[in-house]
A and B are shown apart, each in its own frame.
Chain A
Amino acid sequence: MDKVTGMLEITGLGHAYGSHRVLQGMDLKVSQGELVTIVGPSGCGKSTLLRCIAGLIRPSEGKVVLNGTPIDGVPDGLAVVFQDYSRSLLPWLTVRDNVALPLRRRGTGKAERRAQAVRALASVGLDDAASKYPWQLSGGMQQRVSIARALAYRPSMLLMDEPFGSVDAQTREDLEDLVLQVHRAEGMTILLVTHDIDESVYLGDRVVVLARNPGRIREELPVSLPAARDQIGTRAAPEFVRLRAEVGRLVRGGAAKDGPPTVHEKPVR
């Protein structure tokens, strides 16, 4: 075996829920400081993949190695923005306390926790919601709170599962740029799952396209756009347009070529 160069190295990863096979034979390397987007049809196992990496489920095959050590349980320095953002916030804590809670585990002092929480909330445009409760906010605002919580934690690796699903178009663009900025400024390694083909190209240093039944990697496409991106210029660049078409073809073509149609999409219980 050659020396591990990547921060995250997945080999032969497969997972089945009972007899329902979800992931098969996945190999993926993510280097320190890389932003990889994962795009694929609904139900292809994107969330399952993230949960394996986060150490929340033990994959039935293969291994996940992080910084040279195989993960067993939840690795340190990790943050996850869950797809079920609203259920991942604690309703009895204010928005600020929700954001500050992970810092408490690290032993950060109270004043510092508050300051970081307020800063993170400001970065997602929620300055004035700090002392509200999560259930007093709209879905999109709750989603931004869970993003702020992950950012305040300053993880070395950030996993995001469709993090912009329920925000409006303008906020979505702002949050995409925020992720890019955090990625560049702090060198954070980010794995971001999305449904949105444009978004996967706009954000990614590399786009991983998944196929389903069972979930596997169809193609990995390096994105040769310059690191500095902006919503208008980048989306008009010929390279962007070419990549978008290519990813679109892979996702759609993949879905059409996949074996049996929707029968296997839901687990049989």
Chain B
Amino acid sequence: MADQSPSPGLSRPGKWARGAVGVLILFLASEALGRADIVDRSFLPPASTVTARAFELLGDAEFLHNVRVTLTAWALGLLIAIAIAVPLGLLLGSVPAVNTAVRAIVEFLRPIPSVALIPLAGLVLGSGLNMEVPLIVYASCWPILFNTMYGLDDVDPTAKETLRTFGFSRLQVLLRVSLPSSAPFIATGVRLSAAIALILAVGTEILSGFGEGLGIFIAQAGNVPDGTRDVLAGTVWAGCLGLIIDSVLVQTENRLFRWHHALRSGAS
């Protein structure tokens, strides 16, 4: 099997090299800016200071606890979103009557930016996981829902008919053909949602301002004089979490849906 690189003409090591160069340039630039004393050091600490602090935080039990709280909210929200959006997408995608009935609601809700709901959720749901998780669920449902419906549209009718002629019921065909066939699309939706869920988790914490979580750590660090270093170190970790989650999901998709990539590259 040939290596599947998503961007043609650039091998995997090549991509890594360019990515590393980009990070290095950014690092050096911010280091230079921080050391040049153009701005106050406590205002914009050099990159090396921030990186050192980020590593130091790995040994900080309280910080790790905060990260764990955020990841719990993230995982819980994402799992509930999958449990809601996939069955809902299957229903909307396979029963046209339900689809038309629900479409109006969907079209109304979808354009509302989830972040705009944070104050409302705070009022109604209070604070902590109680408000964080529902917000994450709400925001992460959309990509999963739409990708599930899109995936269903893409299912080969011949495959469905084949199973029907062997006597499988419509529900069985849905579960045995349509669902696995849409799975690569659903997985892409989950990956998009995973990023959104992390933004919502950290964002809600920052805006609510008290309690526990990575966002709380960042928000509270900002209140202390000289706190920029901690704010930036916390932000670096938020970014790293996003990166790790994304690459784990990409790897999993590539392994699980080899058949999908094989068909795509064979067909075109």
* Chain A hits for B183, CB < 8 A: 92
Q: Does B12 contact A (CB under 8 A)?
A: no
Seen from chain A, the residues whose Cβ lies within 8 Å of a Cβ on chain B are: 54-56, 74, 76, 78-80, 82, 84, 87-92, 101-102, 105-106, 133, 135-136, 153
Are A135 and B263 in touch, CB under 8 angstroms? yes
Complex interface bits, B151-170 against A, C-beta within 8 A gives 1, otherwise 0? 00000101101111111100
A93 to B14, CA, bound (A): 34
Query: Are B164 and A87 within 8 A (Cβ)?
Result: no
Structural contact, A90 and B180, CB atoms closer than 8 A:
yes
Please tell me if B130 contacts chain A, counting CB pairs below 8 Å: no
> Is A84 a contact of B165 with CB atoms below 8 Å?
no
**Would A56 and B165 count as touching, CB distance under 8 A?**
yes
Cross-interface CB contact of A90 among B159, B164, B172, B262, cutoff 8 Å: B159
| Chain B residue at smallest Cβ distance from A78 | B165
Instruction: List chain B residues, Cβ under 8 A from A101.
Output: 163, 166, 176
Please determine whether B156 and A87 come into contact, CB atoms closer than 8 angstroms: yes
Contact among B166, B177, B259 with A79 in the assembled complex (CB-CB below 8 Å): B166
Partner of B167, one of A82, A105, A135: A105
Residue from the set B166, B172, B177, B263 with the largest chain A CB neighbour count within 10 Å: B166
- Per the bound structure, the CA–CA distance linking A84 and B176 in Å amounts to 19
Q: 28 A–B contact pairs at CB < 8 A? A: A74-B164, A74-B167, A78-B167, A80-B165, A84-B158, A87-B158, A88-B161, A88-B162, A89-B159, A90-B180, A90-B181, A91-B259, A91-B260, A91-B263, A92-B180, A92-B181, A92-B183, A92-B259, A101-B166, A102-B166, A102-B167, A105-B166, A105-B167, A133-B259, A133-B262, A135-B262, A135-B263, A153-B166
The answer to whether A135 touches B159 (Cβ under 8 A) is: no
Q: Mark B178-215, 1 if CB is under 8 A from A, else 0.
A: 00110100000000000000000000000000000000
Chain B residues with Cβ below 8 Å from A133 are 259, 262
**A88-B259 CB under 8 A given contacts A74-B165, A74-B167, A105-B166:** no
B residues apposed to A, CB below 8 Å: 156, 158-159, 161-168, 172, 176-177, 180-181, 183, 259-260, 262-263, 266
Task: State the Cβ distance, B267 to closest chain A Cβ, in Å.
Answer: 10
Chain A contacts for B176, CB-based, 8 A: 90, 101
A80-B162 in contact (CB<8A): yes
Q: Which of B156, B161, B163, B180 has the most CB of A within 10 A?
A: B161
| Distance in angstroms between the alpha carbons of A133 and B262 in the assembled complex | 10
Chain B residues, Cβ within 8 Å of A102: 163, 166-167
* A99 shortest CB reach to chain B, Å: 11
- Nearest 4 pairs between A and B by C-beta? A102-B166, A87-B158, A91-B259, A88-B162
Please measure, in the bound complex, the distance between the C-alpha atom of A76 and the C-alpha atom of B165, giving whole angstroms.
Answer: 8
A136–B172 alpha-carbon span in the complex (Å): 26
The answer to whether A135 touches B165 (Cβ under 8 A) is: no
The answer to whether B177 touches A90, judged by C-beta atoms less than 8 angstroms apart, is yes
A74 to B167, CA, bound (A): 7
Besides A80-B165, A82-B162, A92-B183, 14 more A-B contacts (Cβ < 8 Å) are A55-B165, A82-B161, A88-B158, A88-B161, A88-B162, A89-B159, A90-B159, A91-B263, A92-B180, A102-B163, A102-B166, A102-B167, A105-B167, A135-B266
B165 touches A54 (CB 8 A): yes
Pair A56/B161 contact, Cβ less than 8 Å: yes
- The contact of A105 among B168, B259, B260, B262, by CB within 8 Å, is B168
Q: Which residue of chain B has the shortest Cβ distance to A50 in the bound complex?
A: B165
Which residue of B162, B168, B180, B260 has the most chain A CB atoms within 10 A of its CB atom?
Answer: B162
B160 CB, min distance to chain A CBs, angstroms? 10
Bound together, the chains give a CA A116 to CA B150 distance in angstroms of: 36
Q: Which residues of B contact A87 (CB under 8 A)?
A: 156, 158-159
Complex Cα–Cα for A79 and B161 (A): 11
Cβ distance B167 to chain A, nearest Cβ, rounded Å: 5
Q: Which residues of A contact B168 (CB under 8 A)?
A: 105
Q: Which residues of A contact B177 (CB under 8 A)?
A: 90
Closest to B157 in A: A87
With a cutoff of 8 Å between Cβ atoms, the chain B residues found around residue A79 in the complex are 165-166
**Are B259 and A135 in contact, with the CB atoms below 8 A?**
yes
User: Judging by beta carbons under 8 Å apart, are A105 and B172 in contact?
Assistant: yes
What A residues does B166 contact at CB under 8 A?
Answer: 79, 101-102, 105, 153
